[in-house]
Amino acid sequence: MFKKDFPYFNNSKTVYLDNAATTQKPQCVIDSQIEYYEKYCSNTHRSNFGHANKATINFEKTRTLLKEFINASKNEEIIFTKGVTESINFIANSYAKNFKTVIISSLEHHSNIVPWHMQKRTLGNGLEVVRCNNNLDFDFEHFEQILKNNPKSFVSVTHISNAFGKIYDIKKITELAHKYDAVVMVDGAQSLAHLKVDMQDLDVDFFAISAHKTFGPTGVGAIYVKEKYLKEIEPYQTGGATIDEVTFNTSTLLDSPYKFEAGTQNIAGIIGFGKALEYLNIIGYENIQIVENDVYRYLDEELRKIPKIIFYNDINDSIGSRSFNFEGLVHDDIGILLDKMNIALRVGHHCAQPIMKQLNVKGTIRVSIAFYNDYNDVSELITALRKALQMLDA
Ligand SMILES: Cc1ncc(COP(=O)(O)O)c(C=O)c1O
């Protein structure tokens, strides 16, 4: 129903089921970037001629759209970055480095693990990992124990696992963390494509966003920073566009968000991200969820009919991604055969090696859907999977 808005599907016969890696882009997102380059390409927040002003207005429009989209309270709380990886690294290296202990969950993407390892190595900060059970549920008792032993720590957890689609209850995590004076950052890379998020309701302190996983361009993202932290956080990069005044001896910085956005930004990308948000506003999350849940359940039902399939979580509290293996088979072999049958999905560790180790697997086969996927995509996948299994004599 929605595929007509995405030129990729007119140009390709590929069954695209790798949306957790990146989503396709609607025509309006592509057009807005071409329009910027063809008709008013200029830098933002610097020059004062017509096209430069238009670029600045459209760039800042995305900030306003995003602020409203996630119900932040002020535009200043929205800081553009290259994506979730840069958002996490920014907060890790500017604010969180002052905390003695960082708490993460077992389901984190490497982007929310490796920056903390670097800090552990260079600053000696502690790192604690909240356990999950064998349905990948977040262990709140263990979390509380860690918080009790390490009050005033920095909690950094994923909202939706990219590897398994598991949703964590961020509101509950934040409430508990705040009880022990901890600060909470959420890796929201997988959130906006599937769920409405509301900064007031979740009450998180930081929320990392990725445009390319939200039908927007690659190389763009943002971090929501609750207003009360904006003054105390130092930028981790500085340079042009961040300053008020510079002499040979010293410099004074602008206020947020500009003090954090050093150098020329991905202007076309940020304008394109705004278009993606406008597009999502038109479709509406109610519609997205109806269509997507239906296909997600159908996918699960059809997969369950295949013998020797192994899942790692049930589909309650899960969204978007479904990860599995087949007894006695190597996930890579399936991936190679599916690629030959024009099915695009990801096999491997999905940048989440620690949880794969915990589950005693090298990786999984991951099908990740978006609202434009339909029953037909699932049927083609299942036919191809059965063929691949036959070829492998399984
Ligand atoms: C859960 C999660 N966190 C972080 C990232 C990194 O996001 P980005 O590509 O925006 O840097 C990803 C991307 O795969 C992800 O799925």
Strands (E), 22-125: 78-81, 101-105
Res 394 pLDDT > 80: no
**How far, in Å, from the CA of 89 to the mean position of ligand 1?**
12
Spatial distance between the Cα atoms of 53 and 58, rounded to a whole number of angstroms: 9
- What b/e readout covers 101-117, taking b as 16+ CB neighbours within 10 angstroms? bbbbbbbbbebbbbbbe
Catalytic site positions: 351
Structure confidence by residue, pLDDT tens digits, 141-188: 999 999 999 999 999 999 999 999 999 999 999 999 999 999 999 999
* CA-proximal residue: ligand 1, atom 15 (nearest): 189
Q: What is the mean pLDDT of residues 27-38?
A: 98
Out of 107, 170, 187, 318, give the residue to mutate to test ligand 1, the one with the largest number of ligand atoms within 8 Å of its CB.
187
**How far, in Å, from the CA of 392 to the mean position of ligand 1?**
32
Q: What is the distance between the terminal CA atoms of the chain, rounded to a whole angstrom?
A: 35
pLDDT at residue number 134? 86
**How far, in Å, from the CA of 211 to the mean position of ligand 1?**
10
Ligand 1 near 84 CB (within 6 A)? yes
* CA-proximal residue: ligand 1, atom 14 (nearest): 21
Beta-bridged to residue 115, according to DSSP, are none
pLDDT at residue number 240? 85
Ligand 1 near 189 CB (within 6 A)? yes
**Selection from 213, 218, 152 nearest residue 184 by Cα:** 152
Spatial distance between the Cα atoms of 164 and 185, rounded to a whole number of angstroms: 20
Return mean pLDDT, the chain: 96
Ligand 1 near 109 CB (within 6 A)? yes
Residue entry with tokens 């099915």 = 343
Ligand 1 near 368 CB (within 6 A)? no
pLDDT at residue number 241? 84
CA distances for 37 relative to 82, 83, 268, 269, angstroms: 19, 22, 7, 11
Structure confidence by residue, pLDDT tens digits, 53-112: 999 999 999 999 999 999 999 999 999 999 999 999 999 999 999 999 999 999 999 999
**How far, in Å, from the CA of 164 to the mean position of ligand 1?**
14
**Selection from 234, 223, 278, 261 nearest residue 56 by Cα:** 261
Sheet holding 364-368, edge to edge: 309-311, 321-326, 364-368, 346-348
pLDDT at residue number 160? 98
Q: What does the block give as tokens for 270?
A: 């940020």
pLDDT at residue number 68? 98
pLDDT at residue number 136? 97
Element (H, E) at 97: none
Which amino acid, residue 272? G
Res 358 pLDDT > 90: yes
**How far, in Å, from the CA of 109 to the mean position of ligand 1?**
7
Q: What is the mean pLDDT of residues 345-373?
A: 96
Structure confidence by residue, pLDDT tens digits, 48-70: 999 999 999 999 999 999 999 99
Exposure of 60 by Cβ count < 10 A (0-12 exposed, 13-18 middle, 19+ buried)?
A: middle
Q: What does the block give as tokens for 124?
A: 């000696």
Element (H, E) at 330: none
Q: In the chain, what percentage of residues exceed pLDDT 70?
A: 100
Ligand 1 near 136 CB (within 6 A)? no
Mind listing the domains of the chain with CATH numbers? 28-282 (3.40.640.10), 284-391 (3.90.1150.10)
